[in-house]
Structure formats: C-alpha cells, structure tokens
Amino acid sequence: MSDDNPVKILFRFYSDILDEETTETLQAEAVDVEHGYYKLESIPFYASKIATGDIVWAEYNEADKMLTYRKTVQHSGNSTIHAIILNDEYDIGAIIKVLEESGCETEKLNTKYFAINVPAVADYFPVKQKLNELEKEKVIDYAESRLSEKHNYVNVFFR
C-alpha cells in the first residue's frame, strides 16, 4: 500500500556537527502507512546513520503534532556525506559539479555547508579521492555520516 503524497518526518538526535541535541525534518514517501513505513526522499543535513532511500518506521507523535522517526527498517545502500567549505575563496558550485558528475546528488544548506547522497550504484572511490584531495588542500572538511556496506570498502585504500 503506497501513497504518493510526501510527508515530513521529525528526527531527534545528538548532532556531532552541532555538538548538541537537535531535530531535523526530512521529506519521505509513504511505503506502508498501516505499518508506519516511509522511504526517505531528502538528503539529511545533520542526522547520521540514515541516507536517502532508507525505509524508516515513524509514528505520529501527539506532542510534536507530526510523524516522528523510531528506527530504520531497511537501508537503501546509499551513503550520506556532510561537508563544509573551509576556504571562502573556493566556489561551492565547482565542488558540487564534480560530485554530481560522479553520480552523486547534493543539497546546499547555505554557501558553506552541503550534504551529499552517494547512490548505491555509484562508485565511491573517485568521490572519496576528490573529498580527500579537497580536505588535504584545506578547502573542505567532511564526515561520512552514513557509509553503506557497499561504499565502506573504499576506506581500506585510504588508511
């Protein structure tokens, strides 16, 4: 039973990026409303351990007056990377273009911070190479907030 209407799901968590308890609202598509299953459509900006395409269980929370995340039911195989521009002279658009040419999707929060979705079908090796190069040049700093099993093998080459 699927519903084409997008819904918003509230995530509550401790953010290592913000160094505080926080919330984030992500857009999802109903997969099985009866069981509370939803497929994430947004790229998380702060929430870790989740990725676009994951199936999550969410319940309506009366206090928040919205669906609230309870647990991940099925991982999509996608990975989520969070990045911040450290060098103001570097164009965020240029970085995003390179990542998108590698098969990734990106969402900018502002001129310094963006999130990357690495689809399960994408080769993470060239993406990781580019991220490491930019980090070494002190252009960006990044975190692999949700690295899928498929993409995790790449870290063996970068130790």
pLDDT digits (tens, 9 = 90+) for 141-158: 999 999 999 998 777 777
How many CB atoms are located within 10 Å of the residue 143 CB? 14
Mean pLDDT of the chain: 92
- 104 and 67 co-located in one domain: no
| Domain limit, last residue, from 24, 48, 74 | 74
Range of the domain at 115: 79-158
Structural domains counted in the chain = 2
Give the residue from 124, 115, 117 showing the smallest Cα distance to 152. Answer: 124
Across the chain, which has 159 residues, the per-10-residue mean pLDDT values are: 76 82 95 97 93 98 95 97 92 91 94 96 95 95 94 76
Is 44 strand, coil or helix? coil
Angle at 19 between CA 16 and CA 20, to 5 degrees: 115
- Residue 17 has what pLDDT? 67
**Sign of the Cα pseudo-torsion (6, 8, 14, 20, in order):** positive
* CB hemisphere CA count around 44 (13 angstroms): 31
- Do 8 and 58 lie in one domain? The reply is yes
pLDDT, one tens digit per residue, over 77-88 is 999 999 999 998
Q: What is residue 68's predicted lDDT score, i.e. its pLDDT?
A: 97
Check: CB of residue 90 under 8 Å from CB of residue 139: yes
Count, in order, helices (H) and strands (E) of the chain.
Answer: 3, 9
Strands 105-108 and 79-85, how do they pair? unpaired
Query: Hey, is 96 helix, strand or coil?
Result: helix
The reply to whether 38 and 64 lie within a common domain is yes
Indicate which CATH number applies to the domain containing 86.
3.30.70
Radius of gyration of the chain (CA): 16
**Is residue 47 domain-shared with residue 94, that is, in the same domain?**
no
Report how far residue 40's alpha carbon sits from residue 51's, in angstroms, rounded to the nearest whole number: 7
pLDDT the model gives residue 1 = 42
**Pairwise CA distance, residues 8 & 28, whole Å:** 6
